[in-house]
Structures are given as structure tokens and as C-alpha cells.
Chains A and B, each alone.
Chain A
Amino acid sequence: MTNLIYVANTSLDGYTEDQDGKFDWTDPGEEYFTFITDLVRTMRTHLYGRQMYETMMVWETDPNLAAESTLMRNFAEIWQAANNIVYSTTLETISTRKTQLSQTFNPEAIRQLKADSEADILIGGPELAAHAFRAGLIDEIHLFLIPILVGGGKSALPDNVRLDLELLEEHRFRDGTVHLSYRTRQRTVN
């Protein structure tokens, strides 16, 4: 049985993107890229909502991005190695290899995926993750706390989900970003 792991950047006041839909203030540096490459390396399946997929697919569709540095090339490689499932009723075309489209979010199908998988599964995008949280599917939360207050936008964590957690790790980056990871303690039996 593998873990479903939610990874998100968040401002200190809890937003993955601001009210203008921007997240340029996350400004990932070398230390972050090295860290997140190692983190994501072990997750061979990625689940995305449409918006997060469109943000991440550039790691395959834009070769200039990977060419910018060795670190970014390394991240691009591990990203491209994963299988993606995109959950969307509005996305019409898939732009990357090893990617399938699903129009419904089916908790049972995800449980089956976890049972069948040999590696951990990444989930990205707060709206999709909220569905997974509500279905009691999330096993780990990894947040990168960016040292900024943005005042509003898209919340990294879901509303109305009550969950006890266990701290796994804390890591402080030179630029003041803090990585916190937690195991969830599910209240309902899956």
C-alpha cells in the first residue's frame, strides 16, 4: 500500500496563489529545486487538477525550461518519468506523454491505485487535493511555507477538514522558506 502525498507551496497566510492568480512570489531557488527533485523522485504517479497540470506540463513541453540549469533539467527528467492522471471536465487535449485524462474523481479508483502502485503518488493542486482530503485519502502533507503574506487567493489547505497530524520533518531553507511534512492520522477506516 503506497502513500498519497499532497505537496504545495503556500504563503504564510495559507495561499498557493494570490488574488491575481499569480505565484511568482514563490521564486524557487537552487536549494528548493534540489530538495523538491529528491522529494518528487520517489513519486511515480502524479494526480493533477487542470490548472496544476497546465502549470506543470511545461516541464515536458518547454525544452528551454529544462535547459536553463542542471538542477532544472534534473527536475524535468523526474517529472517526465512519472505517469500523470489529470482530473478535469474541461480539459480537451493532453500535451504530455504518459498522461491520461479522467473526468470524474472516484475515491474508490484512487484507493485501487494506491493498492496497485509500487511507489508513492503525488497529488498537486488544492482543489483536487480538497476532494482527496474529504475522502480520507491523503496520507502525507508537504508544505513549503514561503516567507510572505499575500492577503488572499487560493487556499492551500481545504475548508472544513478536521484532521490530526504527526510531524515528520522540518527543513529551513537559506531564503527563509520552511518545508514541513506531516503524516495524517485518519479518523475513518478506509
Chain B
Amino acid sequence: MGNLTLFMHISLDGFAAGINRQMDWIHVDEEIFDYGAERIFATDIALYGRKTYQLMESYWPTAADQPNPTKHDIEHSKWYKQVKKIVLSKTMKEESLINTQVISENLVDEINKLKLSTEKEILIFGSPTAGHSLMAANLIDNYWFNINPVLVGTGIPVFKEIKVKTRLSLITSKVFSSGVVCLHYTRKP
């Protein structure tokens, strides 16, 4: 059975983005990309909220074709173009999209169907608002965070709508040379 993982770059004080979706405080580099790459490329299904999906669509499909693409641009673009995408949105229409399914209602049933359709990890990239909906329905199995050494003060919180005290197991911890700390937790049964 597949499991759902929230993968996010976050501030120490628990924000996914600034109040106007600023993410300039998020540090990413070759070391961080390389560490996540293997795990990302092992997945067949990527899940997004509408805004993050639109952000991804504006960059990744052509990232490898730009002048001087980085190794990360090339590899991640290749993976992105072929991965099955799920978008949580009440307003987007599926018809105009490629290899993309829109979930607009029946969240619990649709996500459970998704989990049954694969043995692999389903990764939610960023997408804090979609993350909140999934937390409210108790559907997230794993949290994979890159914690940035910064207090942002206000913004879009990582966590919202946690209704049940949830014990976690720490699976991995990793410190990057930039001071970003990666922590991966799974929900205890």
C-alpha cells in the first residue's frame, strides 16, 4: 500500500512561505538536491495544491532546455515530465492537462484509492494549503522536512488542522553544510 509523504522546505518556526508566499529564505543547493534526488526519482506519483502546481508547471517542463541548465534542472525536469501528477483543486479542470488528475472532492476516498494503486511513496511537494486539507483528514503518513536556519515570523504555516495527537517515529536526520537540517518522520501505527 502506498503512503503519503509531505515533503517541504520549512523555517524553524514552522512556516512554508512568507505571508505573500515569499520563499527567498529557503536555502537549496547541490548537496540538498542530491540528497533528495534518489528518493524523489523513486516515486511515480507527485501531489500538489493548485498554486504549487502552477509554479511547477511554469518552470520544470522546460528547465532542461534553458541556457546552462544545472544537473538538477536536467534530472528533475526529466522526472517531472513523466511523473503522474495529482492536483488538489476545487477550480482546476482536468481536461486541458497532461498526465494529471484533479481531485476536487471526496478527498478521503480519492487519496485512499491512490494509496491502493501503488506500493511506493506518494510525495506532496510543498503545497501547504493542500497539506492542511490532508492533515484535517488524517491522510499524511510521513513528514520529510528541510528545516532552514531562520525564523520567518509570519506566513503560511506548515501545520494546521491537526485534530488528533499524533506520535511520530524519527526515521532519518541529516545535517547539511549550509545548516539546513533534514528530518524524516513516519506516523506511529
A176–B168 CB distance below 8 A: yes
Q: For residue A145, which residues in chain B have a CB less than 8 angstroms away from its CB?
A: 183
Q: For residue A165, which residues in chain B have a CB less than 8 angstroms away from its CB?
A: 12, 149-151, 179
Contact with A along B133-176 (1 / 0, CB 8 A): 00000000001000101111110001100111111111001010
A85 on interface, CB distance cutoff 8 Å: no
Instruction: Give the distance in Å from the alpha carbon of A157 to the alpha carbon of B159 in the complex.
Output: 14
Within 8 A of B (CB), among A67-82: none
Q: Give the size of the chain B interface in residues (CB under 8 angstroms).
A: 29
A172–B170 CB distance below 8 A: yes
A162–B14 CB distance below 8 A: no
B168–A161 CB distance below 8 A: no
Within 8 A of A (CB), among B1-60: 12-14
Instruction: Give the distance in Å from the alpha carbon of A18 to the alpha carbon of B168 in the complex.
Output: 16
The interface stretch among A42-50, A53-61, A94-102, A146-154 is A146-154
Within 8 A of B (CB), among A28-67: none
Residue in B149, B179, B180, B185 whose CB lies within 8 Å of A12: B185
User: Min CB distance, B12 to chain A, in Å?
Assistant: 7
A150–B179 CB distance below 8 A: no
B168–A13 CB distance below 8 A: no
B181–A167 CB distance below 8 A: yes
Within 8 A of B (CB), among A149-190: 149-152, 157-167, 170, 172, 176-178, 180, 182
B152–A148 CB distance below 8 A: no
Q: For residue A105, which residues in chain B have a CB less than 8 angstroms away from its CB?
A: none
Q: For residue B152, which residues in chain A have a CB less than 8 angstroms away from its CB?
A: 162
A148–B165 CB distance below 8 A: yes
Within 8 A of A (CB), among B107-153: 143, 147, 149-153
Instruction: Give the distance in Å from the alpha carbon of A143 to the alpha carbon of B149 in the complex.
Output: 12
Number of A-B contacts (CB under 8 A): 90
A14 on interface, CB distance cutoff 8 Å: yes
User: Min CB distance, B60 to chain A, in Å?
Assistant: 29
Which residue, B12, B175, B179, has most C-beta atoms of chain A within 10 A?
A: B12
B151–A178 CB distance below 8 A: no
Q: For residue B14, which residues in chain A have a CB less than 8 angstroms away from its CB?
A: 13-14, 157
Q: For residue B168, which residues in chain A have a CB less than 8 angstroms away from its CB?
A: 12, 147-149, 176
B166–A14 CB distance below 8 A: no
Instruction: Give the distance in Å from the alpha carbon of A177 to the alpha carbon of B185 in the complex.
Output: 11
A170–B175 CB distance below 8 A: yes
B162–A150 CB distance below 8 A: yes
The contact sample of 11 A-B pairs, CB cut-off 8 A, is A14-B159, A148-B165, A151-B165, A158-B13, A159-B153, A165-B179, A167-B180, A170-B181, A172-B170, A176-B168, A180-B12
Interface residues of B (CB under 8 A from A): 12-14, 143, 147, 149-154, 158-159, 162-170, 173, 175, 179-181, 183, 185
Nearest 8 CB-CB pairings of A with B: A167-B179, A176-B170, A151-B162, A13-B159, A165-B149, A147-B168, A149-B166, A163-B151
